[in-house]
Amino acid sequence: MGVDLGELIEPEEIGFEDLHNKELAIDAMNTLYQFLSIIRQRDGTPLKDSDGNVTSHLSGLFYRTINLMENEIRPVYVFDGEMPDLKSKESSKRRKKREEARDEWEKLKDEGKISEAYSKATQSSKLTGDMIEESKRLLDAMGVPYVEAPSEGEAQAASMVGDEVYAVGSQDWDCMLFGADRMVRNLTSRKTRKSSGGGTKKISVERIELENVLDELEVSHRQLVWMGILMGTDFNPDGVHGIGPKTALKIVREHDSLEDILEEDKVKDTEFENDPELIEEFFLNPPVEETSYEFGEPDKDEIRKVLVEDHGFSEKRVNSGLKKLETALESRQPGLDSFV
């Protein structure tokens, strides 16, 4: 969760074809967490193998990655490193919230309140170290590269946008605060989604460029970070009471320094979870590293071992995925004997 700039910005709708042959630095935690929350049965139970290990993240990662590669998009997954001190308070709060949600989910499930149970289940998602390791193992087997960030994955991904990497792939706007020049959202193969009203809503890939955001809002990158701090970020999730996107924008436009903003009437009584100056500094200069990675060939036996042998995936479905993967790679590097 983080900053919601969607109310202020109209993202540009694009298609997968606009990302042909482009590398995307995909925020791995964001993506896996999304899978874990969403890939569930009606009552909120995640997919599990016969030993009771959750497998939702592997299912999502496998099929999503194949879909990207079928569209000749080149994903590089970026994992989180060491948790920054700024996040430790929020992290323990989230753990507590997760545990409460888990208890309520069990209760509602037993009472047969299926849809209420589902929404609690999504809030109870916990990405464990084992899940992360297995995800990396699957990516290795698929020949898909990943890098480990020194600190926040979003920050690392943001720093990679440039010559090789076209954009950050994430649902989370925070990568813009970390200075990503470009991000893309909704990297899903589905074209529609059920809306709350009951109908279906069209969903398309969205492209957001930092330069355009700053132009449209008429703020600097630094001021965008201040907006985040006012609205709430991972490092001060409560933000300032009563300040949403519009008020935040108005306030930052009227000031030249964070110090001045903190003295504003609306802001000055706020108890921040962390020193706002430190939050500002972290967004503007996060720990990132030069990284190297390369795309490899898929090891089909290893993929089958991870998914079918170890976690009870249907061999038929996995094989059909492998077939798609193979054709995707063939079209990327057409051989001399291919008829095109």
Q: Which is nearer to DNA, 71 or 247 (CB)?
A: 71
189 near DNA, judged by CB under 7 A: yes
Footprint of DNA on residues 272-311 (CB under 7 A)?
311
Closest distance between DNA and the C-beta of residue 314, in Å?
Answer: 4
Among the listed residues 22, 45, 106, 287, the single contact to DNA using CB under 7 A? 45
Closest distance between DNA and the C-beta of residue 87, in Å?
Answer: 25
Q: Which residues of 122-135 are buried (b: 16+ CB within 10 A; e: fewer)?
A: bbbbebeeebbebb
Which residues neighbour 337 within 8 Å (Cβ) at sequence distance 6 or greater? none
247 near DNA, judged by CB under 7 A: no
316 near DNA, judged by CB under 7 A: yes
Q: Which is nearer to DNA, 150 or 312 (CB)?
A: 312
Q: Is the Cβ–Cβ distance between 137 and 306 less than 8 Å? A: yes
Burial of 73 (0-12, 13-18, 19+ CB in 10 A): buried
Among the listed residues 193, 201, 241, 250, the single contact to DNA using CB under 7 A? 193
320 near DNA, judged by CB under 7 A: yes
Run of H or E residues at 77: strand 74-79
41 near DNA, judged by CB under 7 A: yes
Check whether 154 is labelled as a binding-site residue.
yes
The residue type found at 17 is E
Q: Which SS3 state, helix, strand or coil, does residue 290 take?
A: coil
Check whether 269 is labelled as a binding-site residue.
no
Strand partners, 209: 182
Closest distance between DNA and the C-beta of residue 70, in Å?
Answer: 8
CA dihedral 292, 68, 318, 128 (to 10 degrees): 60
Among the listed residues 91, 314, 327, 331, the single contact to DNA using CB under 7 A? 314
Among the listed residues 4, 63, 89, 222, the single contact to DNA using CB under 7 A? 63
Check whether 260 is labelled as a binding-site residue.
no
188 near DNA, judged by CB under 7 A: yes
d(CA 232, CA 237): 5
d(CA 244, CA 260): 19
Among the listed residues 5, 24, 47, 252, the single contact to DNA using CB under 7 A? 47
SS (H, E, C) 187-229: CCCCCEEECCCCCEEECCEEEEEHHHHHHHHCCCHHHHHHHHH
Residues that bind DNA (CB under 7 A): 34-35, 38-41, 45-49, 55, 58-60, 63-64, 66-67, 188-190, 192-193, 200, 203, 311-314, 316-317, 320-321
Query: What residues are designated binding site for Mg(2+)?
Result: 27, 80, 152, 154, 172, 174, 234
Binding residues, by number, are 27, 80, 152, 154, 172, 174, 234
